[in-house]
Chain A
Amino acid sequence: MPPELALHVAMYTDVENASFLKDQLLAGNAEFEYAFIDASMILSTKHVLAAAFRAMNDHLNERLKSRNIHSEIVFCLSPNNNIGEAFRRFGVSESTRNLLVLKVATATTPDITLESVSKHLSTHIQGKECAFDDANFRKVSDVERIRKVYKANLPTSRSSSKSGKPVVNGTSGGREFDPIWSLERQILGLMALRGAT
């Protein structure tokens, strides 16, 4: 866990002014230096936090590939090395209804606190703030779209085509097979591998 860097996260639903926020971001307005992420493209808290972790780690090692640490977080969500594509897929767009906002505070920006961030955001974002937790993500995430972007596999509901394969572990452990968890593992691995030669 990266020390001395604080990460602030907020989540909003029913956002009205998504295109305004996107314009501010593109204009490079310093007041709007946030990671704006379309929440429907996020599977879980771990998903986005892992991306943030990687971005912060890369920042600490001075190997950001994008403009700033916030754009890096959006980039880190992507399984490939195309920054523009990452923004198109995961960033905020006019059609974004559910928004996730992240802000990183470093040692050099002591004025960024949870208060200042939430105040600034609540004035500028027209939407309903909601809690940053997995339950809310399950409600808004578009699993099929996420799966397509990461080219991941979901378990098929019908039984395997290889007939004659008996169930090996009759008493295989108590954890039910959770497709979201399985998708999440693949995504975490793909995000970690991004950019590896």
Chain B
Amino acid sequence: MAEPVSVPQRQDESFLPAPFNTTSPPPQLIAQGAEALLYRTHFLSPSTPAALKARPSKPYRHPTLDARLTKQRVLAEARVLVKLAGLASDPANEINVPAVLSLEWDAARKVKGLSDEQRGARSGGGAGAWLLMEWIEGRSVKDLLRQWDEWYKNKSADVPAEEIARQEEEVKRLLLVHGDLTSSNIIVRPKGGEMNGSSSAVANGDLREEKDQDGPTPPDLNGEIVLIDFGLATQSIQDEDRSVDLYVLERAFGSTHPRQEDWFDAEVLQSQHGYRGSYRGSNVVLKRLEDVRLRGRKRSMIG
């Protein structure tokens, strides 16, 4: 990764909330969204990588509202993650989410008041709330699918059909979505919403050697699925919300991976080991999904 240019780095540093603006090595900015900035840093010691999601305060908002909003959002996300972590302790659930390591929801809160000059060095920069999470190594499903797609397009003619089929199997397995949650997760970045934490299993290793090395290689599709980014997650058990959730995922998927769009429906939703098979209430939800498709989101006919 290239070294960041010094000027932008200084601007970024002003966003870094208090304990992290003096961390060494300094956190690395990875992504910038509308709501928050994502840094890679560490927790307690450099051997524990961590993801810092910082939500700086927005000066154009009314300060009270801003403080309240940021706080609510960070807390909501943290609560969802912790709740899911609690569920994930049952291995039958196979949910993987990043662990919450540390949390700051109100950087301006003080129990004893001090004058602003005394506080000056620390409170500058208007840093708001932040959430420190376990770092998930791997690549997003979006990236993997893209890479797979590239390979598929350019594969050499003498690649046997079964291997293609096997690769397709792997990809489909990747897309399997959980249905057995009590909360409805509205994943904000559905196109990259799942990161593939690949670990040691390299069953595909030998397979890859046979492929044509000049073209793009198929990505290693093994590993566990980890869901990230619960910034807008809500906890709701209504079918309507669940089907809207699926709809969002479906549309996002279709727009970023158009060639694999039919897979989504066939494998993820309808197949026995996809949504339909693994979740008790899936029938109702899938039926609702048809309705949602017809009319679009946020047009709930429920009063």
Take A153-B86, A168-B94, A183-B89 as given contacts and tell me if A62 and B112 are in contact as well, using a CB distance cutoff of 8 Å: yes
Stretch of A21-29, A103-111, A128-136, A170-178 that contacts chain B: A170-178
Contact A53 B85 (CB under 8 A): no
Contact A57 B44 (CB under 8 A): no
CB-CB under 8 A from B86, the residues of chain A are 152-153, 186
Interface string of A1-13 (1 = CB under 8 A from B): 1110000000000
Complex CA–CA separation, A122 to B82 (angstroms): 39
Residue of B nearest to A49 (CB): B44
Interface residue total, chain B, C-beta cutoff 8 A:
56
CB-CB under 8 A from A57, the residues of chain B are 18-19, 102, 104
Contact B173 A169 (CB under 8 A): yes
Contact B44 A46 (CB under 8 A): yes
A88 close to chain B: CB less than 8 A = no
Complex CA–CA separation, A152 to B87 (angstroms): 9
B190 close to chain A: CB less than 8 A = no
B36 close to chain A: CB less than 8 A = no
Q: Which residues of B, 83-124, contact A by the 8 Å Cβ criterion?
A: 85-94, 99-105, 107, 109-112, 114, 122
Contact B278 A174 (CB under 8 A): no
Contact A185 B85 (CB under 8 A): yes
Residue of B nearest to A165 (CB): B278
CB-CB under 8 A from A179, the residues of chain B are 89
Complex CA–CA separation, A86 to B107 (angstroms): 24
Contact A153 B224 (CB under 8 A): no
CB-CB under 8 A from A64, the residues of chain B are 111
Contact A186 B82 (CB under 8 A): yes
Take A53-B44, A160-B92 as given contacts and tell me if A173 and B173 are in contact as well, using a CB distance cutoff of 8 Å: no
Stretch of A32-40, A92-100, A137-145, A188-196 that contacts chain B: A188-196
Distance in Å: Cβ of A47 to nearest Cβ of chain B: 11
Q: Could you name 27 residue pairs across A and B whose Cβ atoms are closer than 8 Å?
A: A3-B22, A46-B44, A53-B43, A53-B44, A54-B102, A60-B18, A61-B18, A61-B109, A62-B110, A62-B111, A63-B110, A63-B111, A152-B89, A155-B91, A156-B90, A168-B94, A169-B176, A172-B94, A173-B222, A179-B89, A182-B89, A185-B85, A186-B85, A186-B86, A189-B78, A192-B78, A193-B78
